[in-house]
Structures are given as structure tokens and as C-alpha cells.
Amino acid sequence: MRVHRYGVPGARPKAYFQAALHADEIPGLLVAQHLLRGLGQAQAQGQVIGEVVVVPVANPIGLCQHLNGRLLGRFDLESTGNFNRGFLNLAAGVVERLRGRLSANPVANVTLIRETLRTVLAERQAVRETEALKRALLDLAIDADFVFDLHCDGEALLHLYASQWQRDDAIELGADLGAAVVLLEENPGGQPFDEACIEPWLALRAALGEEGPIPLACFATTVELRGQADVRDEDAAADAAALLRFLQRRGVIAGDPGPLPEPLCEPSPLDGVDVLTA
């Protein structure tokens, strides 16, 4: 698994991108290539303020799944299920480690929480190949300020998922991307990658919020880059440019992102989504 890094390790803010965790979802692979090009230019010009980590092919296991000439890549053939489910839940372990250790300083608390997340994750041992992959991906992202999991749907307009507690970030990202739908979730269930990144912060707030201030220091989102057939270079270039503008707005890279576009939608609750068969 190839990992691309930009900026100085440990610099803040840190952004993490991965593409094609569902290995048959190709649009993210192309967007990642445009991201690498843009980040390389920013690095050459000394514009990377924080740290950016990109995994352009997040699932080499799934990418090797071919049956009757067709790429599969969504489900683990060892029967552990959907590649974007069952990521480690670090919340309980982190809460117990931090009970009685938080201070009145939110910055110090964030640093302590991130260190504890990495410690708890390092203690978890992987048995299966897919478990090792999921652990490796989480290890790259668990201390990030911004996490972007790039997917696509079967047939869809561009949309994204984010925590209901991070509505403002989701609205701004959706505006930059031109998202047709922004879905806010509380407990999506199944422990997908984005939930594994944000859930410890929510759990800490709920359990230890009275012991000290706990900012939600990780914005984790799943971006659905239209449908599986929507593999067009012009779309991928525009999507990557929008993601880079969001990084500029959040101080990860330098530069003028320009005015924020008007959002194309109001956020909707994920619980309000239903499936219709016409």
C-alpha cells in the first residue's frame, strides 16, 4: 500500500485522504491522482502549512478480486464482510485511559486524546489480512484533523456523509464540491471508516465532558463521487480542486480559495433517507 506524504510530519492541521476502500469504485482513484498533482505543486511552492497524507489505492486486497473478468472489491472474500464496515472501535479503551486525566486546556486535551488513540490502536492486534489493512488505514488517519474517505455510489449525484455535530464543516465542503445532497448522521452503525475516526471524540464528550473541554478535533466525511460509471477526467480534476480549496479554507495549505460557492442544498438527516423502487 503506497502512502504519499506532504508537509512536515506532525505539523497541523493534518488532512488524510483515501480512495477506493471499495476497490470497484473507480472515480476516487482518478480524483486521488489529481490530488497528488495539486499537492505536489503546493509542496514545491512551499504552500503546505500542515501535513497531508494520501492513500490513492486504499484496498489492494479488493483490487485483486477478479471473478469471470469482473472486478469485485466491495466484500472481503474471507467472509469478514464489507470492506467499509467493522473498523476498530477505540472509544471504550480511550475513555477508560483518560478518565481523570483531562485538564481545563482544550489544546492540551486534544494532544492527549490523540496520543491515547494511537496507544490504544497500537495495542490491537490483527489476525486476518483484512484486519491488518483496516488497522493500517486507521493508524494513518486516527490523529488527523480532517479525514476524507472517497467513494462512489452505483448511480448518483455527488453527495457526502458527515456527523450531525459537524454541520458547518459539512455545509462548506458540500458547497465547494457542488454536492447535491449532504447527509448528516448520528450513529450510522456498522463501524465504517469515517465513524471509526469521529466516534472516539463523541464518546469522550459524552462520558468525560464534565472533566474538561473536548473539542471535536476530527472532521471525518465520506464523499460519494457520483456513480461507478462517472469516471471522467474533467470531473475528477474539478473534484480535486474543490478538495484543495477546502484545505485552503482550513489552513492546511496556503493560497486563496476564493469566495465560498452557494450550497446547492440544505443538509438532510441520514435517518430521513429511504429506498424507493420505481
Q: 168-220 pLDDT, tens per residue?
A: 999 999 999 999 999 999 887 899 999 999 999 999 999 999 999 999 999 99
> Rounded CA gap, 33 and 43, in Å?
15
Residue-by-residue DSSP string for 52-64: EEEESS--HHHHT
pTM check: above 0.75: yes
pLDDT digits (tens, 9 = 90+) for 118-139: 999 999 999 999 999 999 999 9
What are phi and psi for residue 43, nearest 5 degrees?
-65, -45
Exposed/middle/buried for residue 54 (C-beta within 10 Å: 0-12, 13-18, 19+)? buried
pLDDT at residue number 211: 96
The candidate with the shortest Cα–Cα distance to 41, out of 238, 244, 177, is 244
Mean predicted confidence (pLDDT) in 87-109: 97
Q: Which residues contact 53 (CB under 8 A, 6 or more apart)?
A: 3, 4, 5, 6, 14, 15, 16, 17, 140, 141, 144
d(CA 214, CA 209): 6
Task: Give the model's pLDDT for residue 79.
Answer: 72
Q: The dihedral of CA 252, 253, 256, 258: what is its sign? A: negative
Q: Where are the domains of the chain?
A: 4-272
Computed over every residue of the chain, the mean pLDDT equals 96
Residues 60, 107: Cα–Cα separation, whole Å:
37
- Please state the separation of Cα 100 from the chain's center in Å: 30
Percentage of the chain lying above the pLDDT 70 cut: 100
**Pairwise CA distance, residues 12 & 76, whole Å:** 35
CATH code of the region 4-272: 3.40.630.10
Does residue 22 have a pLDDT over 90? yes
